Amino acid sequence: MREYLLTLCITAAVTYLLTGPVRKFAIVAGAMPEIRARDVHREPTPRLGGIAMFFGLCAGLLVADHLSNLDQVFDSSNEPRALLSGAALIWLIGVLDDKFEIDALIKLGGQMIAAGVMVMQGLTILWLPIPGVGTVSLTQWQGTLLTVALVVITINAVNFVDGLDGLAAGMVCIAAAAFFLYAYRIWYGYGIESAAPATLFAAILMGMCLGFLPHNMHPARIFMGDSGSMLIGLVLAAGAISITGQVDPDALKLNLGGSTRDATHAMLPVFIPLVMPLTIIAIPFADLVLAIVRRTWNGQSPFAADRGHLHHRLLEIGHSHSRAVLIMYFWSALIAFGAVAYSVHSASGMWVMLGVVALSFVGLVLLLLPRFTPHTPRWAERLVPPRYRRRRATAGEASATSAGEVSATDMRDEKREEDESGEGDRTPIPAGVNGATAIGARSRFTDRRKAGSSR
């Protein structure tokens, strides 16, 4: 466990430290596209955050290769090299898209090629454990097609939910944490060495997301862009493929030494790989399916962008940006960790399901409560940035509030003062090339209106 935690921390540190310089590079390179109709941010924000995440991935793999308990993963398996090859290809495609906005079909072809590169180096699904049937071996073509499909679906599912600050990185981090617990239990608990690569991939993926999140939380200083969203989607798919199609389900039964019935009841993880890859991307996958159905029904291309995603709908019904992100976090954690808990406590599966239902009910009740805006306590305002402090009312505003009205003359005077000071133009204050970092200042917009909508 210590080696995995060290790898996670190194990956997070490298990603965090490189994101600031990458942000300045993105500004200089002009990777700051104009605000589109479907965007929810109000000012141009640099992309290319995937550059820092990719170097974090490389640092994590390099550190793991020099650790005594993890170097066997590289000696006995070619999966880390396959992951790095596919990640490098998908990362280059994402960088080009963040800068030049390449066509969607070209990106789809690049995703399939990246998946094919991993298949050629051995990262593929060899068999499937099916309940009631047993282990079903796949032919080479069947394994290749299934692997490519899983990679493409996962990449696009993660890419589709990358619409709010911190949403994609946080949801993937939650999924990676649940997947790490599952894979680590298979590797350490039952001595299945084939599960070690998937455990390593999950730890590195958590580090990539945790290192990038401080820069990407609302209000975001930088976006991961397609270079980041497609990268973390590919790493997530690689872990799912490794634990699903590389780990022999019969090994769990042999370690137990029991009958088939006892092994089935005691070792439910034999069958969990069938649903685990779907549970960790359940919310992104649902959003992907709904988006395809919605666009096809309206006569549009499935790749046409719109403002109909789940996070857009949460904003439309009145949730704030941060609250919408937290809601998506909650449901992702509920589904992913619920599946892991069910695999661990298989004997009391009914109680786990009842617990999931209870948590769902609590979540719905909390969502129906009146919304409130949290504020920093007065005594702690000096310790937080100005944007998190309460707005202090002036003496004139206080007297007007107590009287219950403001005269038309005062309103005209305020309007005249705004016009004379230039605030009426509602223009942004640019941050500049040497502007905000993860903890520094940022440019602010006085205009609170939403970006134009296509609907």
Please report, in range form, the residues annotated as the binding site for Mg(2+). 159, 226
Is residue 118 within 8 A of residue 270, CB to CB? The reply is no
- CA dist 217 and 213 (Å) reads 6
Is residue 26 within 8 A of residue 223, CB to CB? The reply is no
Tokens of 220: 């975001």
Q: Which residues are annotated as a binding site?
A: 159, 226
Is residue 119 within 8 A of residue 136, CB to CB? The reply is no
432-437: long-range contacts, CB 8 A cutoff, minimum separation 24: 433/24, 433/27, 433/28, 434/24, 435/27, 436/221, 437/20, 437/23, 437/215, 437/221
SS (H, E, C) the chain: CHHHHHHHHHHHHHHHHHHHHHHHHHHHHCCCCCCCCCCCCCCCCCCCCHHHHHHHHHHHHHHHHCCCCCHHHHHHCCHHHHHHHHHHHHHHHHHHHHHHCCCHHHHHHHHHHHHHHHHHCCCCCCEEEECCCEEEECCHHHHHHHHHHHHHHHHHHHHHCCCCCCHHHHHHHHHHHHHHHHHHHHHHHHCCHHHHHHHHHHHHHHHHHHHHHHHHCCCCCCCCHHHHHHHHHHHHHHHHHHHHHCCCHHHHHHHHCCCHHHHHHHCHHHCHHHCHHHHCCHHHHHHHHHHHHHHHHCCCCCCCCCCCCHHHHHHHCCCCHHHHHHHHHHHHHHHHHHHHHHHHCHHHHHHHHHHHHHHHHHHHHHHHCCCCCCCCCHHHHHHCCHHHCCCCCCHHHHHHHHHCCCCHHHHHHHHHHHHHHCHHHCCCCCCCCCCCCCCCCCCCCCCCCCCCCCC
